[in-house]
Structure 1
Amino acid sequence: MRIGLYPGTFDPITLGHVDIIRRASVLVDRLVIGVAINRDKGPLFDLEERVEMIEAECRTLSGQTGIELVVHPFENLLIDCANDVNATLIVRGLRAVSDFEYEFQMVGMNRALDDDIETVFLMAEARHQAIASKLVKEIARLGGDVSKFVTKPVQDALAGKFGT
């Protein structure tokens, strides 16, 4: 069984993330969505809320793709998380060249830690490439329409956080 790991903070999960999950699903038999517990980032949604939103999206996607999608919170090194879930492939989404520079460094470090785990980069569809969770939160905070960037349940969760 080929197991992939798609890590991120997913604060919140966006249509760009959903697109990468859908496209990564053709590469693996099981895709683990690794939800990073990154206290330094000060997430808007707590871990339980992020996991719940991702699980809801994965229920739909799993039915569409026919593969097993598993949500797995983690706070250790990415490469250790990959080993914990028996992943042989790490999936990373890219939006712009600036993403690639950071990701290139991460691949080098991860390969030094465990050269049996490959990293695959996927570009989101053009219509989703500009979507960033940080910007979605800012738009929602200021009362803007985020329906082009997130699903309705996530849109509702953002409205709940910001009282809009």
Structure 2
Amino acid sequence: MKTASVLMSALMAGAMSLAPQAFAQTVHYPGGKSTFDGKCAVCHQAGGRGMDGLAPPLVEYPGKYAGTSEGRAQLGHTVMYGMFGPIKVKEKSYNFKMPSFASLSDEEIADVLNYVVFDLNAEHGAARPFDAAEVKAWRAGPLDQTAVHQQRASVIKGLGL
């Protein structure tokens, strides 16, 4: 019995020493991570895991959105112009007024979107990276937060989410 206890203690110690490595995040977009950590993580939390009732997780839907032009525009418009109103993500409800981050440069918005889609989302299908030119094109047709909310509903329906 004492041998089993010693063995269990050794296994636990080994597992604990590996834990930080097992959950280490590979970051391909460090500029986007920096922007996310400074502007977005306060509500969406570190790693984009979300905060119940307040801000939805960003670890699944953005990867799915990024594969369509409508979804890509919705992601960009959400960051640029903000969004408010009730939404559901995986049967959980959120109702938060996301602020506008239009003051970020086109490059910063592209970087943060790339971080969210490619570093936080394990699956992103055939999505291609965002670039500043794409963000600049979205700025040419500004939306208010209500329109961004309606756009999201259309994207969700189109993707069957």
Q: Same fold (TM over 0.5)?
A: no
Q: Which is richer in helix?
A: 2
Q: Which is richer in strand?
A: 1
TM-score (norm 1): 0.29
- Structure whose CA Rg is larger: 2
